[in-house]
Structure 1
């Protein structure tokens, strides 16, 4: 049940982020859920491999490389879906930041951080 709620909240955060950030377009809430699932899957597979190989550089940059990899995963999903579009790296960067903050707020509202 918690996993389903996490997926729905992440989709909502992406949907809200797409409405806030100029240059980002998503067809609807359903497309936002699919995009968030694909972004999570890309981060869990390709992103994990990239983070493994860039670990020393990630330590030197205090996690900036991991953030850039997450942005690249957003751009990868953008290229895979027609119902989710960004206008490039800058839009994807702002989207990643906004989605993170929206997700923190939604987690606090819905009590996702409580054990």
Structure 2
């Protein structure tokens, strides 16, 4: 799946996660596209640095600290995109989990559709 496919899946996942969770606000219809783009850029350039710097604590917590890194990335995205508001750290935490699950499900469904 190419960049455009992943971008569209992430955009749809942002819409679904924001709809399901309280404390997440998308102020207009263009916002999910911008959020997906910013998340993609942050996950490409900033997340690897954070993962590398937090490697000792990530190993001690058996990888659970990666959830904290995901939450930081979501809050950082909220700070960058003015029309995307995340109310609290817990909202960002649950948003990152729901976003990951929805993205996984959508990619699985599209993968199965391509096979048939």
Give me the TM-score of the superposition, normalised by structure 1.
0.89
Residue 13 of structure 2: aligned partner: 13
* Count of residues in Structure 1 that have an aligned counterpart in Structure 2: 115
Residue in 1 that maps onto 2:38: 38
Taking the TM superposition and a 5 Å limit, the aligned residue runs for 1:55-74 are 55-74=55-74
Q: Is the 8 A contact 1:18 1:26 kept in 2?
A: yes
2:110 is the alignment partner of 1:110: yes
| Distance apart, 1:28 and its partner CA | 4.2
Distance 1:36 1:94 in 2: 17
Aligned-residue offset at 1:77: 0.9
| CA–CA distance in structure 2, aligned partners of residues 83 and 28 of structure 1 | 7
Structure 2 residue 71 is the aligned partner of structure 1 residue 97: no
**CA root-mean-square deviation:** 2.0
Q: Is the 8 A contact 1:15 1:28 kept in 2?
A: no
| Counterpart for residue 4 of structure 2 | 4
Does the CA contact (< 8 Å) of 2:34 and 2:81 recur in 1? no
In structure 2, relative to structure 1, the CA distance for the partners of 1:82 and 1:71 (3 Å cut) is: same
State the Cα distance separating 1:29 from its structure 2 match. Answer: 4.7
Note the alpha carbon deviations across 1:39-95, whole angstroms, 9 max, x for none: 221122222111111112111111122221111011011011121111010000111
Structure 1 residue 49 corresponds to structure 2 residue 49: yes
What TM-score do you get using the length of structure 2 for normalisation?
0.88
Give the conservation status (yes or no) of the 8 Å contact 1:11–1:29: no
Asked if structure 2 preserves the Cα contact closer than 8 Å seen for 1:24 and 1:85, the reply is yes
